[in-house]
Amino acid sequence: MSAQTAQWQDVAPLLQVRELSKFYAPGKGCGDIDFDLYPGEVLGIVGESGSGKSTLLNVLSARLAPDAGQVIYQSEQFGELDLYACDEAQRRVLMRSEWGIVHQHARDGLRMNVSAGANIGERLMAVGERHYGNIRERAQAWLEAVEIDSSRIDDRPSQFSGGMQQRLQIARNLVTHPQLIFMDEPTGGLDVSVQAKLLDMLRGLVAELGLSVIIVTHDLAVARLLAHRLMVMRRGQVVESGLTDQVLDDPQHPYTQLLVSSILQN
Ligand SMILES: Nc1ncnc2c1ncn2[C@@H]1O[C@H](COP(=O)(O)OP(=O)(O)OP(=O)(O)O)[C@@H](O)[C@H]1O
């Protein structure tokens, strides 16, 4: 067992997922999902298109009710919460404070026609910050943290490149110091060099802030770089899970072997 795994298992899980299922039709969705996510851990969910990754992410992040099963979350504000037995109001509080969601398409996670500063400030205002000077100062600091020149604070995201939009989305999410981030193909659709820069930044921020992350990707290079642990999905089921290096270097399930040999990628 690695030192990092031992450390995770000494503390309570942040998320406990038990027998979770959501199917639209047989084989379409996700089923029998069981895992624990520990503070500071990055879990990658990989699999080919249509394997149920996004469905699972949506159920885990309280955006899509499951058919069966439980998601227990250790909230800073509310203590242990059963996500689908608690109040809608509590889920909304989690979404705007303790959680972040980074979408594949920046337009799903940003307001494209308000300024970059307002995109970040809006999240701060949602958790009660009212002081204009503080909001602007923190927005500037976060723009710099994601390597966007703070002189761009009054520009709209629609004036930014794809990579900058993703970095702004990350800043908007991180400004409230969330403990759990959900990411759905955060580098999808970007040029390879832009992807590399974004991944490097994400890796740095995740380590520096001790974030817990669940990241969906079909790109095993992204999974290798960011995730400590992987779950491999096929037709809505987890066929293999384990430490990232083990799964990618010594895949046990024939499907994972195909995936790793890149026959199923793209
Ligand atoms: N709202 C919906 N209604 C009906 N079927 C759906 C719905 N959303 C997804 N599906 C189906 O469920 C299956 C799993 O989709 P999902 O988006 O979770 O897969 P995925 O692994 O994230 O794929 P991709 O990488 O292409 O996004 C697919 O067959 C999809 O067509």
- In one-letter notation, the amino acid at residue 216 is V
Contact between residue 32 and residue 40 where contact means Cβ atoms under 8 Å apart: no
Q: ipTM of this complex > 0.95? A: yes
Minimal-distance CA residue to ligand 1 atom 16: 52
Tell me the sheet residues that pair with 82.
Answer: 72
pLDDT at position 141? 96
Is the shortest distance between the CB of 217 and ligand 1 below 6 Å? no
Is the shortest distance between the CB of 49 and ligand 1 below 6 Å? yes
Find where tokens 């027998």 sit.
19
Find the helix packing angle between 192-209 and 162-174, rounded to 10°: 10
Is the shortest distance between the CB of 28 and ligand 1 below 6 Å? yes
CA 123 to centroid of ligand 1, rounded, Å: 29
pTM beyond 0.95: the answer is no
Listed in sequence order, the residues at least 6 apart from 134 whose beta carbon sits closer than 8 Å to its beta carbon are: 124
The C-alpha atoms of residue 107 and residue 25 are separated, in whole angstroms, by: 29
If one residue of 24, 222, 233 were mutated to test the ligand 1 pocket, choosing by the most ligand atoms within 8 A of its CB, it would be: 24
Minimal-distance CA residue to ligand 1 atom 12: 28
If one residue of 54, 104, 232 were mutated to test the ligand 1 pocket, choosing by the most ligand atoms within 8 A of its CB, it would be: 54
Number of H helices, E strands in the chain: 11, 10
CA 34 to centroid of ligand 1, rounded, Å: 20
Provide block-wise average pLDDT over 10 residues at a time, the chain (266 residues): 53 96 94 96 95 96 96 96 94 94 94 96 92 95 95 96 94 94 92 89 92 95 95 96 97 95 66
pLDDT at position 265? 57
CA 14 to centroid of ligand 1, rounded, Å: 26
User: Pseudo-torsion of CA 72, 229, 235, 218, nearest 10°?
Assistant: 120
pLDDT at position 10? 74
Contact between residue 153 and residue 136 where contact means Cβ atoms under 8 Å apart: yes
